[in-house]
Structure 1
Amino acid sequence: MSAFPLRSLLHRFFPFLAVLGSVTALGIGTSWAKHWLFPVVGAQGTTAVRVGFSALLVLLLWRPWRWHLSRADARAVMLYGAALGGMNLMFYMSLRTLPFGLAVAIEFAGPLAVAIWSSRRAVDFVWVALAIAGLGMLLPLGLNGSTLDPVGVFYALGAAVFWGLYIVFGKRAGHLHAGHSVSLGLLVAALVVVPVGVVHAGAALLSPTVLLIGVAVAAVSSAIPISLEMMALKRLPKEAFGIMISMEPAVAALVAMALLGEHLSAVQWLAIGCIMAASMGSAMTAARPAAADRTVPQVA
């Protein structure tokens, strides 16, 4: 194969590879955090280290002080960042007792609900039914034999709510440069979660091992995914990006199986498949204005 067709092929598949790289890096970083940081500083301390260093890295990368920020935009960014912080904290709290892939699948109920609520067409009832079927196989409702920890599920649902709010508030700041809004949003998120981590973990957060792993987790699970998603968004229609990002629960489950030894049952894999199908279907049938709601880079 000559160099030109190879470059053409790579250019054609680059957006897919970028999204796959993004969700894989996110899964690897989160798995590292759960394996190495949870035993030392807990979920709260892990959230503080991860979001704190992510904010620092992205601030240094984008230098948001170069742009003007109006009072209205500052309020939108504060709400966006607060929702981002709450989403991260709730998600990591859920990982104490839930497998990574299942926590991600439950969390996907948030953006899916926002996308469907923005449309409310007849076809959306199909995606609602698929999502309910998937969640019904996972949630401990007393009828389906689910053995998932109710407290962990509660936190994952809390993360879903915050993810939905994050999308709504992120859209209000959507006219800002992505680097501007994301960097300031992460700063606000850090101001929300770092005090919680300090109260919970205390001086353990200053351990050289925790700091070193925290920087690695922040780079792999925030800086790299955000950068790859931005590159993919420049080359893809927003609805196509929404379809591709819907593979995140399956990728998270596979990464967790490889790195954490978390094996899921056939029913749990089926539940993940239903939620992914609902997310993909919603992205495929969304009207173009609504599709943008799904493309705010997520950092959980």
Structure 2
Amino acid sequence: MSAPPPAGRGRRRDRGGGLPAPALFVLSGVVQYLGAAVAVVLFAVMPAATVAWWRLVVSGVLLVVWRRPWRRRWTWRALGSSALFGVILGGMNVLFYVALDHLPLGTAVSLEFLGPVAVAALAGRGLAARLAVVLALAGVVSIGGLGLDWSTPGTGTGVAFALAAGVAWAAYILLGRRIAVGRSGLDSLAVGTAVGAVALSPVAAGTATTALASPGVAAAVIGVGVLSSLVPYAIEQVALTRLPAATFALLTALLPATSLLVGLVVLQQVPTAGEVLGLALISAAVALASRG
């Protein structure tokens, strides 16, 4: 997929706030996985799929109130693509949270990252891009493969859901970039998230009211929606307007490293030797991709 038409210096500053793309991804990843750490705590109160659904509801409501997308003129095609984007985004969240219920945070993110790696491999050009893909893939395999304990019950289920989330993530990158470049990505994100919350409401049937059990649980649910969806996806909409799909996919290699760090600090999930090796490989891939 090609990059958007070149913009002037002033326009780039307006869209990205002067931050380089890797810095945007680090900021997005730290905020997103702090929210994921809060979600892991909520798994003891309600099913993982219900937590993911509430994440969509909270972020959808806040985005709609913030962006007020009804002020824009919408074609049926634009509404349809935004709705599809929201369903893909919501499905990715549900699949990832179910995987997270069975796997450590860093491992689940690393396996899910195979989706962006596939996008980068198919859309990237040049030797540097290919080498970056190989390094990133080796890092993901090192983190997800060498660190897995297949004797633990639920590991296979977690891996399956993480890989399915990776497929959804690849679709999110490709469709999300088209939406972000073609019109206001944040307005489309608001509409899509709201549609996704409605479409995926059956996954929370019978358990949704658990989030209202106490003020503490409700506050945690709101925190997950803000940290895991509202802030990082708004940041990514900025990044999507500045980067081709292949580069965006490669720079998401920062996210497994970020998730390992958050898992260590917040959840006390100590990385294995394979995960540390994977971190080094992914860091090399990001450095190479950034130079390109």
Q: Does the TM-score normalized on the shorter chain lie above 0.5?
A: yes
Work out the CA distance in 1 between the residues paired with 2:33 and 2:140.
21
The counterpart of 1:167, out of the listed 157, 163, 173, is: 173
Tell me if the contact between 2:176 and 2:240 (Cα under 8 Å) persists in the aligned partners. Answer: no
The counterpart of 1:214, out of the listed 208, 212, 221, is: 221
Work out the CA distance in 2 between the residues paired with 1:183 and 1:193.
16
Q: Using a 3 Å threshold, how does the CA distance of structure 1 residues 284 and 117 change in structure 2: closer, same or farther?
A: farther
Question: TM-score normalized by structure 2?
Answer: 0.79
The counterpart of 2:68, out of the listed 60, 63, 85, is: 63
- Counterpart of 2:39 in structure 1 is 33
Work out the CA distance in 2 between the residues paired with 1:260 and 1:95.
12
Tell me if the contact between 2:110 and 2:144 (Cα under 8 Å) persists in the aligned partners. Answer: no
Corresponding position: 1:259 with 2:266: yes
Work out the CA distance in 2 between the residues paired with 1:232 and 1:99.
27
- Counterpart of 2:149 in structure 1 is 147
TM-superposed CA distance for 1:155, in Å, is: 0.8
Is the partner of 1:40 in helix, strand or coil? coil
TM-superposed CA distance for 1:274, in Å, is: 2.9
CA deviation vs aligned residue, 1:178-197 (integer Å, no higher than 9, x gap): 22111112112212333202
Q: Using a 3 Å threshold, how does the CA distance of structure 1 residues 263 and 205 change in structure 2: closer, same or farther?
A: same
Answer with 151-160 or 184-193: which moved more: 184-193
- Counterpart of 1:91 in structure 2 is 96
Q: Which letter maps to 1:159?
A: A
Question: TM-score normalized by structure 1?
Answer: 0.78
Tell me if the contact between 2:117 and 2:250 (Cα under 8 Å) persists in the aligned partners. Answer: no
- The alignment-based identity, stated in percent, is 30
Unaligned runs of 5+ residues in structure 2 are 1-16
CA deviation vs aligned residue, 1:263-290 (integer Å, no higher than 9, x gap): 11011221244345445545654xxxxx
Answer with 269-278 or 108-117: which moved more: 269-278
- Counterpart of 2:186 in structure 1 is 179
Work out the CA distance in 1 between the residues paired with 2:198 and 2:178.
21
Is the partner of 1:264 in helix, strand or coil? coil
How is 1:1-300 mapped onto 2 (pairs within 5 angstroms)? 19-35=25-41, 37-119=42-124, 121-138=126-143, 146-148=148-150, 149-174=155-180, 175-199=182-206, 201-208=207-214, 209-229=216-236, 245-278=252-285, 281-282=288-289, 284-285=291-292
Work out the CA distance in 2 between the residues paired with 1:59 and 1:271.
39
Is the partner of 2:51 in helix, strand or coil? helix
Tell me if the contact between 2:186 and 2:237 (Cα under 8 Å) persists in the aligned partners. Answer: no
CA deviation vs aligned residue, 1:21-48 (integer Å, no higher than 9, x gap): 322111111101111x100112011101
Work out the CA distance in 1 between the residues paired with 2:184 and 2:46.
34
TM-superposed CA distance for 1:132, in Å, is: 3.9
Cα RMSD (Å): 2.9
Is the partner of 2:101 in helix, strand or coil? coil
Tell me if the contact between 2:113 and 2:140 (Cα under 8 Å) persists in the aligned partners. Answer: no
Tell me if the contact between 1:22 and 1:229 (Cα under 8 Å) persists in the aligned partners. Answer: yes
Q: Which letter maps to 1:249?
A: P
Q: Which letter maps to 2:118?
A: A
Tell me if the contact between 1:130 and 1:275 (Cα under 8 Å) persists in the aligned partners. Answer: yes
Tell me if the contact between 1:107 and 1:159 (Cα under 8 Å) persists in the aligned partners. Answer: yes
Work out the CA distance in 1 between the residues paired with 2:268 and 2:237.
31
Work out the CA distance in 2 between the residues paired with 1:187 and 1:165.
18
Work out the CA distance in 1 between the residues paired with 2:21 and 2:137.
30
Work out the CA distance in 1 between the residues paired with 2:177 and 2:238.
19
TM-superposed CA distance for 1:65, in Å, is: 0.8
Tell me if the contact between 2:116 and 2:166 (Cα under 8 Å) persists in the aligned partners. Answer: yes
Q: Which letter maps to 1:256?
A: G
- Counterpart of 2:9 in structure 1 is none
Tell me if the contact between 1:246 and 1:280 (Cα under 8 Å) persists in the aligned partners. Answer: no
